[in-house]
Amino acid sequence: MLHKVGKTLGVAIAVMCLASTLAVATEMTCAKDNGKGDCIAATGPDGKMVVVVGEGLKAGEPMDCVDRGNMVACQAVVVASAPPVTFMMTCAKDNGKGDCIAATGPDGKVVVVVGEGLKAGEPMDCVDRGNMIACQAR
């Protein structure tokens, strides 16, 4: 009986030791970067600033950080983006080579677009990618 209790107690202590070594990520915000694209200081949920190592992160960016004992390692928070919204436009001008270069939207304004294989007057489905409006035939 004493052997069984001792064995159970030993297993319980081993499990507690193993659980204490598991790292838990904490969301922090980069407070200062080194100007070379690496975060060197961050603030946590408690508002305290700590020294961190975060490659490819700039001030103001959210990060997931893990305290590894000798350093706090951080990486960018992965945020899922919404799928692009498609909207209908009509090609207003093509370049004569079969590519639409300007289109009108529902508001009637003419905007610059990239629409391969489209000619003036054709309806298109377009997506605003931030740096360009990409269109394709309907």
Residue-wise pLDDT for 27-44, tens only, equals 999 999 999 989 999 998
What's the pLDDT tens digit per position in 71-90?
999 998 877 777 888 999 99
Q: Indicate the residue type of 25.
A: A
Calculate what percentage of the chain has a pLDDT beyond 90.
59
Q: What is the mean pLDDT of the chain?
A: 85
Residue bearing the bigger pLDDT, 25 or 133: 133
Residue bearing the bigger pLDDT, 17 or 65: 65
Check pLDDT > 80 for residue 18: no
pLDDT at residue 85, rounded to an integer: 87
Buried b (16+ CB within 10 A) or exposed e, 26-65: bebbbbebeeeebbbbbebeeeeebebebeebbeebebeb
